[in-house]
Amino acid sequence: MAGKIVRAAIVGASSLLGKELANELNASLTLVWDLKLLDAKLPDEGESVVQITSAGDEAILIQTIEPGAFDGMDVVFFAGASLSDDVATTKTHWKEAQAAGAVVIDAVGALEGEAGVVVASPWVDGLEAAVTTKVIVPAHPAAVMLSLVMTRLRAKWSEARAAATVMEPASQQGSAGLDELHKQTVALLSFQPVLKDIYDTQVAFNLEASLGAAAKVNLAAIAARIRRDVRAVAGEKSSRALALQLLQAPVFNGYTASVFMEMEDAISRVDVEDALRGGIVSVEAEEPGPSNLTATEQGQILVGVREERDGVAGFWLWIAADNLKLSAQNAIACAVKYAGLASRSKVQ
């Protein structure tokens, strides 16, 4: 089939986000992605090497990162969780990818704050004319969810303000987070002590606003990044109009957020739903409403709207999205839109 070919590498291809990225790229209908799958290290000797099916049903092995690994790449995606190993891999190899002439898409978030690096999401920001860098950090998935809500409602009602409680899923910390939540759940049901290597506290069957002192996950740092990314893609005014609390939820996958939007008087629920609906945002019926389960593999941000009926001018929003799929789609959208991959690719 004729189409555009883009040569791309995924670093961290065996991570949850890396696998999601590969799946999304292989399913693309607009570009053909010639993928190279990389990891900092392969499984130990004697273990099977991970294989992922690429375009054309060709099985591709995940390779170690070696000198010259990024030669000829149009784009290099750095995938994984924000735990130390994935951050270290990104910081170690991103300049190699840049020196090879590739566009760098840091889906880990390790390069945020580096000189010349832009935080972006093509669904909510207006950075097209300003983006000249070839190193881009796709905005945090929770920031994308909140930014879309804030920008769309404040475009019609400029005084709208929001208070959001966001629930963090275990899969945002990759396989390590998932494994610990699973093991804690099994242990508790078996009346056994729980493993606390990642969270340094019990997260199974529990909600936490802060984790143990030795936790490898820092909720305050994650919340700070979400706030920064909202400011980067939605603007200073929208950021100042948002109050945010982040909780660790005992769920395996999917962000959810309870958001109260304080609005002007005499605004109907239908008007709010119409302002939100469109593109990647789907407004759902009030009952049963969206959930992290119904959002899984949907590729959309699901929003339910309920009017506050106790004399307060505002609306409750219940928002859900598949965090891994949203992150992968945003990373690809950043590569295509801001890095001009379509113009750089070759015709098959």
Give residues with Cβ within 8 angstroms of 159, minimum separation 6.
264
Shared-domain flag, residues 151 and 118: no
Shared-domain flag, residues 113 and 185: no
Shared-domain flag, residues 102 and 218: no
| Domain CATH code at residue 279 | 3.30.360.10
| Domain CATH code at residue 339 | 3.40.50.720
Shared-domain flag, residues 197 and 298: yes
Report the distance separating Cα 66 and Cα 8, nearest Å: 16
For residue 6, give Cα distances in angstroms to 21, 34, 149: 14, 6, 33
Low-confidence winner among 210-219, 245-254, 304-313 (lowest mean pLDDT) = 304-313
The burial of 79, by beta-carbon neighbours within 10 Å (0-12 exposed, 13-18 middle, 19 or more buried), is given as buried
Shared-domain flag, residues 24 and 92: yes
CA dihedral 136, 17, 341, 62 (to 10 degrees): 120
The burial of 93, by beta-carbon neighbours within 10 Å (0-12 exposed, 13-18 middle, 19 or more buried), is given as buried
Highest mean pLDDT among 118-132, 269-283, 329-343: 269-283
Confidence class for position 30, pLDDT limits 50, 70, 90: confident
Mean pLDDT of the chain: 88
The string of pLDDT tens digits covering residues 227-259 is 999 999 999 999 999 999 999 999 999 999 999
Shared-domain flag, residues 107 and 196: no
Q: Which pairing describes strands 314-321 and 255-262: parallel, antiparallel, or unpaired?
A: antiparallel
Shared-domain flag, residues 76 and 169: no
Listed in order, strand segments (DSSP E) in the chain are 4-11, 31-39, 51-53, 59-61, 63-64, 75-78, 103-106, 118-120, 135-138, 161-168, 242-248, 255-262, 281-283, 301-307, 314-321, 346-347
Report the distance separating Cα 81 and Cα 16, nearest Å: 8
For residue 160, the enclosing domain spans 143-323
Shared-domain flag, residues 199 and 313: yes
Give residues with Cβ within 8 angstroms of 130, minimum separation 6.
118
Shared-domain flag, residues 34 and 167: no
- Count up the domains in the chain and report the number: 2
Shared-domain flag, residues 193 and 112: no
Shared-domain flag, residues 130 and 230: no
CA dihedral 169, 172, 176, 179 (to 10 degrees): 30
Asked whether 276 and 305 are in contact (CB, 8 A), the reply is: yes
Confidence class for position 286, pLDDT limits 50, 70, 90: confident
pLDDT at 276 (0 to 100): 95
Shared-domain flag, residues 186 and 300: yes
Percent of the chain with pLDDT over 70: 89
